């Protein structure tokens, strides 16, 4: 039961068959009830809320609609779907409020009585502070990809926006997953919502072929090159950091591949150019952070490669959901390094609750030769132990290397004890082969080591005792008169400005 104008625009946009989420939610939302909808990515959630929205705005000329999205890309994509349906015959004013775009253009759009507002929480709040946006007539509210918005920390901003919206309005909350914090929000802001769930929330689309590749960190890039050569069609590669994305793009361009990067540091105009270039086939490879994991709808994507694992297990499902959209086939490859084992187990448990991690034997082969994970070895070499252990008195080998750490044993040779008494301690092996100087004969005990030590200080240089004491240090008066010749040079020297 929708308006004829909207029926014509749906035909014109070439939408023929409704997806399960659309066929379940559209009839309910047309009646004016709140909806809590969950479905996998790529199942057509956007049309599920835009068709009832436009129908409502055609019927009520004063009503407004607000759609809040987590990312700029998703907001732009939702607006493109709205524009497909909002043809000239319907002609409802609209405004896209996202960061990174001209504020003046957005203000002009809002002055023309825009009734469909699509935007991100940050920019919508900016307009509310400027008082350039009035939400007093909003009767249709959509929270799209709500789980993603909460993950990104938009909860306070969303609550601020909801304060400006009148109480009597219809709310549609759509999400790919349904954690506890979304259930709390639905209880707070939704009025007796209809619960619609299509398919399993944690199971990826069946037509996506999933593969894993066990590899070490240093060989990842070379394997990525091999995969890019083997695979045909456009490829989306997910990495962990913005810096990592830029670095890989530079290397790929150097190696002769057409690649681009998309991440949070890019300006909106640059993001749009990158996505359009990838959509039109100008660049075959797109290196992305998780900013592109949600809502990016590019039918051309045939392969997804997880170069790095995501930070949250749920993001894995959204990442690989970029391929195999609208019933098409796709493939997803994930690189697994030894450090990824715990996260991969968490992802596997999310996909299959009955998943059991591999036995210890499998873990060992997966880990490879990583030393710090090996069990403690009591017979490890002394070099590894010396930082942590006090030495045993029973150690006998390599006295030279151990003298800093061990107490000496009482069972040393008497030869060493005798020499020690005469000459003091030294670690010079040549010292004991030398003939004692005339200073150390038994007749002249007055030049014993203790006396020399008092006069000249302790030394372990064997040649020192052969020398005669110098006259410079014979008296204290000579010491006082001794001065450095070069001291005056520095005294009058001017410092540079």
Q: Which of 103-107, 206-210, 226-230 has the lowest mean pLDDT?
A: 206-210
Instruction: Give the other-Cβ count within 10 Å of 148's Cβ.
Output: 23
Average of per-residue pLDDT across 31-45: 82
Question: Average pLDDT in the 109-117 region?
Answer: 90
pLDDT at residue number 292:
61
Higher pLDDT among residues 254 and 369, named by residue: 254
pLDDT of residue 364: 43
Question: How far is residue 380's CA from residue 399's CA, in Å, rounded to a whole number?
Answer: 19
What pLDDT is stored for residue 465 in this prediction?
Answer: 61
Q: Which of 81-85, 178-182, 450-454 has the highest mean pLDDT?
A: 81-85
- Is 124 or 480 the better-scoring residue by pLDDT? 124
**Does the pLDDT of residue 368 top 60, yes or no?**
no
Say which range, 164-168, 283-287, 375-379, 391-395, has the weakest mean pLDDT. Answer: 391-395
**Residue 415 pLDDT exceeds 70:** no
Among residues of the chain, what percentage have pLDDT more than 90? 24
Quick one: pLDDT at residue 313? 82
Per-residue confidence band for 451, with pLDDT thresholds at 50, 70 and 90:
low
Contacts (Cβ under 8 Å, ≥6 apart) of 436 = 422
Q: Looking at residue 488, what is its pLDDT?
A: 53
Q: What is the pLDDT of residue 295?
A: 55
Buried/exposed code over 71-106 (b: 16+ C-beta within 10 A; e: otherwise): bbbbbbbbbebbebbbeeebebbbbbbbbebeeeeb
Report the DSSP beta bridge partners of residue 66.
Answer: 117, 141
Mean pLDDT is lowest, of 17-26, 337-346, 379-388, 460-469, for 379-388
pTM as predicted: 0.57
Taking the C-alpha atoms of residue 54 and residue 56, their distance in angstroms, rounded to an integer, is 5
Report yes or no: 97 and 119 within 8 Å, Cβ to Cβ.
yes
- Res 46 pLDDT > 80: yes
Q: How much is the pLDDT for 64?
A: 93
Position 436 confidence tier, pLDDT thresholds 50, 70, 90: very low
Q: What is the mean pLDDT of the chain?
A: 76
pLDDT bin (cut points 50, 70, 90) of residue 200 is low
The pLDDT of residue 459: 63
Q: Is the pLDDT of residue 419 over 60?
A: no
**Taking 60 as the threshold, does the pLDDT of residue 424 lie above it?**
no
Q: Which residue has the higher pLDDT, 494 or 305?
A: 305
Of 248-257, 298-307, 391-400, which has the strongest mean pLDDT? Answer: 248-257
- What does the pLDDT read at residue 441? 47
Higher pLDDT, 420 or 303: 303
Flag whether pLDDT at 222 surpasses 90: yes
pLDDT confidence tier of residue 146, bands split at 50, 70 and 90? confident
For residue 121, pLDDT over 80 is answered with yes
């Amino acid at each position: 039961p929708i308006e004829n104008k909207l029926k014509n625009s749906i035909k014109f946009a070439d939408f023929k068959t409704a997806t399960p989420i659309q066929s379940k939610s559209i009839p309910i939302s047309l009646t004016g009830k709140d909806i809590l909808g969950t479905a996998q990515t790529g199942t057509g959630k956007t049309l599920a809320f835009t068709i009832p929205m436009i129908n409502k705005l055609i019927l009520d000329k004063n009503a407004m609609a607000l759609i809040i999205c987590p990312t700029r890309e998703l907001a732009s994509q939702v607006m493109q779907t709205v524009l497909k349906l909002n043809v000239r015959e319907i002609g409802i004013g609209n405004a896209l409020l996202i960061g990174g775009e001209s504020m003046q253009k957005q203000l002009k759009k809002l002055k023309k009585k825009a009734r469909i507002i699509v935007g991100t929480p940050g920019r919508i709040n900016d307009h509310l502070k400027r008082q350039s946006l009035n939400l007093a007539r909003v009767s249709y509210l959509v929270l799209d990809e709500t789980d993603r918005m909460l993950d990104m920390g938009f909860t306070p901003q969303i609550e601020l926006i909801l304060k400006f919206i009148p109480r009597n309005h219809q709310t549609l909350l759509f999400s790919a997953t349904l954690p506890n914090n979304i259930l709390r929000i639905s209880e707070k802001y939704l009025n007796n919502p209809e619960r619609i769930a299509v398919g399993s929330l944690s199971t990826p689309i069946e037509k996506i072929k999933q593969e894993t590749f066990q590899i070490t960190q240093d060989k990842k890039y070379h394997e990525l090159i091999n995969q890019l050569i083997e695979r045909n069609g456009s490829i989306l590669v997910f990495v962990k950091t913005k810096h990592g994305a830029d670095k890989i793009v530079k290397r790929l361009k150097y190696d002769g591949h057409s690649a681009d990067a998309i991440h949070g540091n890019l300006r909106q105009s640059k993001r749009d150019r990158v996505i359009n270039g990838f959509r039109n086939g100008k660049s075959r490879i797109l290196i992305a952070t998780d900013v592109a994991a949600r809502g990016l709808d590019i039918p051309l994507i045939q392969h997804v490669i997880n170069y790095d694992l995501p930070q949250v297990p749920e993001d894995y499902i959204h990442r690989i959901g970029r391929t195999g959209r609208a019933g098409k086939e796709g493939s997803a490859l994930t690189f697994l390094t030894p450090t990824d084992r715990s996260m991969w187990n968490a992802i596997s448990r999310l996909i299959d609750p009955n998943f059991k991690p591999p036995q210890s034997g499998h873990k060992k082969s997966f880990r490879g030769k990583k030393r710090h994970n090996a069990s403690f070895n009591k017979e490890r070499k002394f070099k590894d132990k010396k930082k942590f252990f006090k030495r045993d008195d029973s150690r006998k080998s390599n006295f030279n290397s151990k003298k800093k750490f061990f107490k000496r044993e009482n069972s040393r040779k008497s030869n060493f004890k005798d020499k020690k008494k005469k000459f003091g301690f030294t670690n010079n092996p040549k010292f004991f082969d030398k003939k004692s100087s005339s200073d150390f004969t038994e007749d002249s005990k007055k030049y014993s080591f203790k006396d020399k030590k008092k006069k000249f200080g302790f030394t372990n240089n064997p040649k020192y005792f052969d020398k005669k004491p110098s006259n410079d240090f014979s008296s204290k008066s000579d010491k006082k008169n001794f001065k450095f010749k070069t001291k005056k040079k520095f005294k009058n020297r001017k410092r540079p400005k």
